[in-house]
Structure 1
Amino acid sequence: MAKNVLIIGAGGIAQVTAHKIAQNASEFGALHIASRTQSKADDIIASLRAKGHQAEFTSHPLDAMDTAAVAALIRKLGIDIVINVGSAFVNMTVLEGCIETGAAYIDTAIHEDPAKVCETPPWYGNYEWKRREAAEKAGVTAILGAGFDPGVVNAYARLAEDEYFDTVRSIDIVDINAGSHGRYFATNFDPEINFREFTGTVYSWQKGAWQENKMFEVGREWDLPVVGKQTAYLSGHDEVHSLSARYPQADVRFWMGFGAHYINVFTVLQSLGLLSEQPVKTAEGLEVVPLKVVKAVLPDPASLAPDYTGKTCIGDVVKGTKDGKPGEVFIYNVADHKEAFEEVGSQGISYTAGVPPVAAAILVARGTWDVKKMANVEELPARPFLELLGELGLPTRVIDATGDHPI
């Protein structure tokens, strides 16, 4: 029986997810999209019609912070698969709604508590993994972090484990956006979530333990396909926290590319206290959250798409041993901002994040990834996922001892 799908969220990533679901509607049953602001969901549906998609989506209003409301909507619509591409603040309430109703759950990022920044590692252990037993007892498939990073990069690590190495010694995830949006300053997704990644301690897993650094403290130049030489900095990120559990013997690091201008503006904002999530009072007695004010004055990430040019390169440099001999592979994807906009009306960052959960949903619908328990992406078969992503527009390439080639 075809699986009914509910997309929760109506931002740039949700737009990509909806377009890819519409392109592959034959894999599913009834299609729905819900958002706190229903008109945003309606705008996405209008963009589908503008592209000529025949698939029928139905929009719904939903406060995804309300577990009871999430569960009620799932029951009302007979939903089998929930794709959560809303704010990371709603992960737990949506997950609980899925566990309560038996619907499969897929998200693209780790849960965040609005009142906390950069909690102690491993971050998945603070929220999602505490629901493992409940998910398995309910027979609910819950796939965590099925975006690009986290998500596809986790599958890259698993592919290296399955097909290249007996023992994985290090995983360096490198995320480079070599595109330009033409604005003075902007973030590629929700500024409130984006800045939280860079205002706390940078955690990496090295020498069998958590290591701490400050943001922009450790940087190095990477020479990558298509985008060339780029400077990236050691950053804290979701996937380090699950990959370190599967590969405790390996060093696991995440590197993100930043230009000098971004670092300068970010540093000024942080130094002035404007990236704080703690409320302050103005001279007039108004209580405001500085981070939310900054978010309000920055461009909407979705508005960047029409003017975005250039490419992204995201991949894993994995080192290990095979038959006692050391080796190295780079498993990666290159995406184009302009091509993404022409296809789905979103920029490349949203594209790389929004396509993978659709691949995950298809694999759940087909039964390949319908594991009836909670799993991070590296715990699931990698090749079916990566091959399907290639069909959906995110092809994987590998640089190994034989050269640069598709998987």
Structure 2
Amino acid sequence: MSKVLIIGAGGVGNVVVKKCAMLPNVFSDIMLASRTLPKVEAAAKEVKELTGRTIQTAKVDADNVQELVTLIKNFEPKLVINVALPYQDLPIMDACLETKTNYLDTANYEPKDVAKFEYSWQWAYKKRFEDAGIMALLGCGFDPGVTGVFTAHAAKYHFDKDGMEYLDIVDCNAGSHGKAFATNFNPEINIREITQRGKYWENGDWKETEPLEINRMINYPEVGPKKSFLLFHEELESLTKNFPSLKRARFWMTFSDEYITHLKVLENVGMTRIDEVEYQGQKIVPLQFLKAVLPEPASLGENYEGQTSIGCHIRGKKDGKPAYFFIHNNCDHAKTYKEIGAQAVSYTTGVPAMIGAKMMLEEKWMKAGVWNVEEFNPDPFMEDLNKYGLEWHEKSSDFVEFND
């Protein structure tokens, strides 16, 4: 019996629970838990309609370790899939340690009071997870997640040992949801991510930029050229650690001019602040209030059109000669909505989380400690991407299509 507890019932959580429910031979019993019980119950109803399976539901405060411990002890899952907020990674990891339960997440820890995400807090759990005989798999969404698996695949098959030198991860959402302004995943996390300083790896050191300071036009398959902005993204931290031959690693993401204009206005009027302000005798965080009035990412799917396109451009050496490799996935918003009622950004995060959980439960990826996805054999994960809705395409040559 492979019981799994999924914590978080937002857009990604809805994808994960539905995809898990489609594989009863892997996920024999499923519980979905969240602070907001009506969201959990609504998701359970959709799972029943889609798959015919009945899942268990629960209310839990993912900031409260003892609540989590009680829930885990009562349900006794083999694995906890954390698709809650990044602030809650450490409490959930603490609960998994106390109950000796395996753990998986899609985004690394971020403290509430500082817009800064890095792996140091979670990597510090490595020995404790080893001593407990359990595994934590970090960042198993698309980016981070699939981009790390793509890079591991490239290192294994397309470059010499220590032959990868330049990595550019490119992320485009060319879809249109018809809203004046909306974020494709949790608004609070999304806006914190893109309003902080940019950062990239070059020649053994981190180079910082002003927020959204650097942009360039990048050509995306089936989409065409789109203005793309240099951001810091968490997989850069783990990939440069695990592939030390990289001389440079960067991350690029597309934003429309309309999106940037809205964002600048919100910044200028103080709505992206993460510190508390007093309003009518109460303390509120402006960004959390903004999140409450923006459209729920899970609600965007119905009228969403267009595609996402995410991939890795890699340069280096193969057989001692210059080599170029590109691997990507394109995902269609309308198709993912038709399949499970989700837009493609939620889908591209939720499907890899399900696959990572499958890898762990089938013990294809199972090793005590705290790990990033690129530290495992990419082959079975890559096979399942094609099988469960995220087909990938690759090409290699000595002709460089992505350069400075």
Question: Structures share a fold, TM > 0.5?
Answer: yes
Q: Residue 158 of structure 2 aligns with which residue?
A: 164
Q: What is the SS of the residue equivalent to 2:42?
A: helix
Q: Residue 42 of structure 1 aligns with which residue?
A: 41
CA shift digits 1:68-118 (9 cap, x unpaired): 211221111111011111111111111111122121101000111111112
Q: Is the 8 A contact 2:48 2:54 kept in 1?
A: no
TM-score by length of 2: 0.95
Q: Is the 8 A contact 1:11 1:302 kept in 2?
A: yes
Q: Residue 353 of structure 1 aligns with which residue?
A: 349
CA shift digits 1:152-202 (9 cap, x unpaired): 000011011000111110111000000000000000111110111012111
Q: Residue 267 of structure 2 aligns with which residue?
A: 270
Q: CA deviation at 1:285?
A: 4.1
Q: Residue 219 of structure 1 aligns with which residue?
A: 215
Counterpart code for 2:157: E
* Aligned length, in residue pairs: 396
What 5-or-longer segments of structure 2 have no aligned partner? 400-404
Does structure 1 residue 252 correspond to structure 2 residue 236?
no
Q: CA deviation at 1:217?
A: 1.0
- Summarize the alignment of residues 4-403 of structure 1 with structure 2, pairs less than 5 Å apart: 4-51=3-50, 53-118=51-116, 123-125=118-120, 127-166=121-160, 167-250=163-246, 251-282=248-279, 284-401=280-397
Q: CA deviation at 1:286?
A: 3.9
Runs of 4+ in 1 over 2 A off after TM superposition: 284-288
Q: What is the SS of the residue equivalent to 2:324?
A: strand
Q: What is the SS of the residue equivalent to 1:114?
A: coil
Q: What is the SS of the residue equivalent to 1:346?
A: coil
* Whole-angstrom CA distance in 2 between matches of 1:281 and 1:358: 41
* Whole-angstrom CA distance in 2 between matches of 1:201 and 1:40: 34
Q: Is the 8 A contact 1:203 1:210 kept in 2?
A: yes
CA shift digits 1:310-365 (9 cap, x unpaired): 00000100111012101111111010001111111110000000000110111111
Q: What is the SS of the residue equivalent to 1:186?
A: coil
Q: What is the SS of the residue equivalent to 2:25?
A: helix
* Whole-angstrom CA distance in 1 between matches of 2:290 and 2:7: 25
* Whole-angstrom CA distance in 1 between matches of 2:382 and 2:68: 30
Q: Is the 8 A contact 1:179 1:309 kept in 2?
A: yes
Q: Is the 8 A contact 1:208 1:249 kept in 2?
A: no
CA shift digits 1:108-141 (9 cap, x unpaired): 001111111126xxx101x101111111111111
Q: Is the 8 A contact 1:387 1:395 kept in 2?
A: no
RMSD across aligned C-alpha pairs, in angstroms?
A: 1.4
TM-score by length of 1: 0.95
* Whole-angstrom CA distance in 1 between matches of 2:112 and 2:101: 26
Q: What is the SS of the residue equivalent to 2:124?
A: helix
**266-275 or 154-163, larger mean C-alpha shift:** 266-275
* Whole-angstrom CA distance in 2 between matches of 1:280 and 1:100: 36
Q: Is the 8 A contact 2:9 2:84 kept in 1?
A: yes
**247-256 or 315-324, larger mean C-alpha shift:** 247-256
